[in-house]
Chains A and B, each alone.
Chain A
């Protein structure tokens, strides 16, 4: 086994040990998502915070580490994982685009283990269509000002720092990510009544002439083509893999739970399900490695996310039936995990969006593999 492989296995083992603690808090967090402070000092939340913190310096296998950790923590419970203080999805963007000082400032805002970060991308009108986003970062005589609205943002009402995607002009090159402090004037965050994944405290954010310092615009140290959209696309690919990891881990949690409570006659279906969970985990880990190597354009992560979310939807629907009539009412964890599974479909792009990514990748692959590809005039499309 490689050194990297051993590190990943050690990490998984460490988080596996705290999964039961996370699960023991699942129903309380689901019922009281606005009051999770009583869980801050638990083994589970402390471990999640430590593992998820943005590292002091970039790590070459960051996506793989996050994915491996998520596979174990979310097998305890994805809702509690998302409720745990830490950088959440904003950390992925900061990790890819921040300079050393920005990274240090972001870390210091979250280091106490009692604070969250938000990552504001989706907008009320255009969803996660990044190219069509309207939130504006404008230069004014008194400095940069941020204005617009975001929705379906994790930690919207409780984050004390966050990353916001906005545009400074009309083209994709004008898209920028900025770090903002939640106590800046002009920011308002409200939680939404989500059906599942309530621990994520998903909500709306509005920005009205929010002052932004030049040093809080991410990516200024990078070439112009890599400052905004490029980093966002890479970050989305990474986040997609994390969402897929939460989905497959939820399927695994359901499988574990049903195996513990079902009659022995159900073993065939459970065994088949375990095989599908294991292969989907491997697919996600491959996708994470591809993100770390900056391979492709996120097609593998899209494909892995679709596979994982479909598996979660199927497992959370079908396996509870092994426990008899009305199992969803009799076993609240199964009912919660079924609701949570619906959320994975929506996080970081629905299946319809992911299918478009997968199709793009498949068409590029097919053209690259066509007889004579690259040796004849193919319009410059062959790889």
Chain B
């Protein structure tokens, strides 16, 4: 079995090849894939056959015991992701916190995606003008770009060390800020479902399942 990808490798894969590639790099054979309380989750379509267990509200269940329905989701499909509904064999109850490495790995996916989109945003803004000058000359725009760069550099600095869940949660909050700044940089163009920034919106849904606020406190360091 191959070794798990490092956080830097996960970030690089996302930056180079996009969201699905980053999540696929982060996927570890045998690790349960998190689901929502009602059994829904998003994952790379290519990973679906390799999932061996689901982390559901009723606990960790072998994939072989569950029925899985793929739900239509055009935006997810355009990013090579699948929305699935996991149906457990019996009704179960909430088992409490699930130990997971996903909060840390998702941090790497998020920084990789932000690097990828920041390059696109700078290119986009260089070609738009206001009052006769490219938007990249505007002080407010440059400040936004700088703030994103600061967040990404700081978070990436943490990749080579072991940190607690609390610290991971704080860095996720920092990346939230960078995501919002990126969305502002793209403006209305980024609000289209056929724009690459749609990956940010999908990643927010994934984060809500894989690493919701508070879950980092109980994640594996």
User: Chain A: residues with CB nearer than 8 A to chain B?
Assistant: 122, 125-127, 129, 131-132, 151-152, 192-196, 313, 317-318, 320-321, 323-330, 335, 338-339, 342-343, 345-346, 350-352, 355-356
Interchain Cβ contacts under 8 Å between A and B, 16 examples: A126-B130, A127-B130, A192-B192, A195-B75, A195-B198, A323-B37, A325-B34, A325-B57, A325-B209, A325-B215, A327-B36, A329-B36, A335-B205, A339-B201, A345-B183, A352-B140
B36 x A326 contact (CB < 8 A): yes
Q: Which residue in chain B gives the minimum CB-CB distance to A327?
A: B208
* B14 part of interface (Cβ distance < 8 Å): no
Q: When the two chains form the complex, which single residue of B57, B131, B212 contacts A131, counting CB atoms closer than 8 Å?
A: B131
Give the Cβ gap from B33 to chain A, nearest Cβ, in Å. 12
B193 x A326 contact (CB < 8 A): no
Give the Cβ gap from B8 to chain A, nearest Cβ, in Å. 27
A329 x B209 contact (CB < 8 A): yes
Q: When the two chains form the complex, which single residue of A125, A152, A323, A356 contacts B188, counting CB atoms closer than 8 Å?
A: A152
Q: Which residue in chain B gives the minimum CB-CB distance to A198?
A: B193
B1-43 toward A: CB 8 Å interface, digit per residue (1/0)?
Answer: 0000000000000000000000000000000001111101110
Q: Which B residues are in CB contact (< 8 Å) with A127?
A: 128, 130, 187-188
Known contacts being A329-B40, A329-B83, is A132 close to B129, with CB within 8 Å?
A: yes
B215 x A193 contact (CB < 8 A): no
Beyond the given pairs A193-B194, A352-B184, 15 more chain A to chain B contacts, judged by CB atoms under 8 angstroms and listed by A's residue number, are A125-B129, A126-B128, A126-B129, A132-B131, A193-B192, A193-B193, A317-B204, A318-B213, A321-B208, A321-B212, A324-B212, A326-B35, A329-B83, A351-B184, A352-B144
Q: Which A residues are in CB contact (< 8 Å) with B198?
A: 195
User: Chain B: residues with CB nearer than 8 A to chain A?
Assistant: 34-38, 40-42, 57, 75, 83, 128-132, 138, 140-141, 144, 176, 180, 183-184, 187-188, 191-194, 198, 201, 204-205, 208-209, 212-215
B191 x A194 contact (CB < 8 A): yes
User: How far, in angstroms, from A320 to B208 measured CA to CA in the complex?
Assistant: 9
Q: Which A residues are in CB contact (< 8 Å) with B176?
A: 317
Give the Cβ gap from A43 to chain B, nearest Cβ, in Å. 30
CB < 8 Å A-B pair total: 106
A326 x B201 contact (CB < 8 A): no
Q: Which residue in chain A gives the minimum CB-CB distance to B37?
A: A324
User: How far, in angstroms, from A371 to B42 measured CA to CA in the complex?
Assistant: 61
Known contacts being A152-B188, A193-B194, A342-B183, is A326 close to B208, with CB within 8 Å?
A: yes
Q: When the two chains form the complex, which single residue of A129, A329, A330 contacts B42, counting CB atoms closer than 8 Å?
A: A329
Q: Which A residues are in CB contact (< 8 Å) with B138?
A: 352
Q: Which A residues are in CB contact (< 8 Å) with B192?
A: 192-195
User: How far, in angstroms, from A325 to B129 measured CA to CA in the complex?
Assistant: 42
User: How far, in angstroms, from A122 to B128 measured CA to CA in the complex?
Assistant: 13
A326 x B209 contact (CB < 8 A): yes
Q: Which 3 A-B pairs have the closest CB atoms?
A: A326-B36, A326-B209, A329-B40
Q: Which residue in chain B gives the minimum CB-CB distance to A129?
A: B130
Q: Which A residues are in CB contact (< 8 Å) with B184?
A: 345, 350-352
A195 x B41 contact (CB < 8 A): no
Give the Cβ gap from B141 to chain A, nearest Cβ, in Å. 7
A326 x B40 contact (CB < 8 A): yes
User: How far, in angstroms, from A151 to B192 measured CA to CA in the complex?
Assistant: 12
Q: Which B residues are in CB contact (< 8 Å) with A321?
A: 208, 212-214
Q: When the two chains form the complex, which single residue of A122, A131, A193, A325 contacts B37, counting CB atoms closer than 8 Å?
A: A325
Q: Which B residues are in CB contact (< 8 Å) with A129?
A: 130-131
Q: Which A residues are in CB contact (< 8 Å) with B215?
A: 325
Which of A193, A195, A320, A335 gathers most chain B CB within 10 Å? A195
Q: Which residue in chain B gives the minimum CB-CB distance to A122?
A: B188
Known contacts being A132-B130, A193-B193, is A325 close to B36, with CB within 8 Å?
A: yes
User: How far, in angstroms, from A327 to B57 measured CA to CA in the complex?
Assistant: 12
Q: Which residue in chain B gives the minimum CB-CB distance to A334?
A: B208
Q: Which A residues are in CB contact (< 8 Å) with B83?
A: 329
User: How far, in angstroms, from A326 to B191 measured CA to CA in the complex?
Assistant: 22
Give the Cβ gap from B129 to chain A, nearest Cβ, in Å. 6
Give the Cβ gap from A347 to chain B, nearest Cβ, in Å. 9
Give the Cβ gap from B94 to chain A, nearest Cβ, in Å. 9
Q: Which A residues are in CB contact (< 8 Å) with B40?
A: 326, 329-330
A195 x B140 contact (CB < 8 A): no
B201 x A195 contact (CB < 8 A): yes
Give the Cβ gap from A333 to chain B, nearest Cβ, in Å. 14
Q: Which A residues are in CB contact (< 8 Å) with B34?
A: 325-326
A338 x B204 contact (CB < 8 A): yes
Give the Cβ gap from B57 to chain A, nearest Cβ, in Å. 8
Give the Cβ gap from B56 to chain A, nearest Cβ, in Å. 10
Which of B36, B57, B201, B208 gathers most chain A CB within 10 Å? B208
A326 x B37 contact (CB < 8 A): yes
Q: Which A residues are in CB contact (< 8 Å) with B132?
A: 132
Q: Which B residues are in CB contact (< 8 Å) with A152?
A: 188
Known contacts being A127-B187, A338-B204, is A330 close to B36, with CB within 8 Å?
A: yes
User: How far, in angstroms, from A129 to B130 measured CA to CA in the complex?
Assistant: 6
User: How far, in angstroms, from A301 to B42 measured CA to CA in the complex?
Assistant: 40
